[in-house]
Every structure is written in structure tokens, then in C-alpha cells.
């Protein structure tokens, strides 16, 4: 798993549990429809899998 993944925030974090908000902020996402590039590691993949209803992986 080398390289990077692009992660996009597709839904608002309003009315979500605090744990979800912490994960979104840890990924570096602040606004909706923004894309960030992160290393393709199991840690970042796990963060994305915790909140798949809020995030999308952009190809």
C-alpha cells in the first residue's frame, strides 16, 4: 500500500457524534467538498472506514 489516497468530505459533520468530528478534523478536512491527500496507510484507511457515510475516496 504505497502512495496516497484522496479523501473528500461529502456530508456535513453537524449533528454527528463527537468521535466522528474528531476523525474528520484529524484527516485535515474542514469544509464540505474539500479533498485532501493522505498517505495510503492502514491508519488512514481505518479512519475512513469508521465514517464511510461522511467521506468518499476520490480516484
Q: DSSP labels for 13-35?
A: -TTS-HHHHHHHHHHT--STT-E
Q: Is 23 exposed, middle or buried (0-12, 13-18, 19+ CB in 10 A)?
A: buried
Report the pLDDT value the prediction gives residue 1, as an integer from 0 to 100: 52
- Cα separation, 11 vs 55, in Å, equals 7
Report the pLDDT value the prediction gives residue 2, as an integer from 0 to 100: 67
Average pLDDT over every residue of 1-9: 88
Q: Where do the domains of the chain lie, and which CATH numbers do they carry?
A: 4-58 (3.30.1390.20)
Q: Which three cell numbers stand for residue 26?
A: 484529524
Residue 25 has pLDDT above 60, yes or no: yes
Q: Quickly state the pLDDT bin for 31 (edges 50, 70, 90).
A: very high
Q: Quickly state the pLDDT bin for 59 (edges 50, 70, 90).
A: confident
CA angle 6–12–17, rounded 5-degree value: 105
Amino acid at each position: 500500500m504505497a502512495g496516497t489516497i484522496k479523501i473528500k468530505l461529502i456530508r456535513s459533520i453537524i449533528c454527528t457524534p463527537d468521535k466522528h468530528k474528531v476523525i474528520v478534523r484529524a484527516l485535515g478536512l474542514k469544509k464540505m467538498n474539500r479533498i485532501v491527500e493522505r498517505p495510503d496507510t492502514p491508519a488512514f484507511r481505518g479512519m475512513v472506514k469508521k465514517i464511510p457515510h461522511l467521506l468518499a475516496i476520490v480516484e
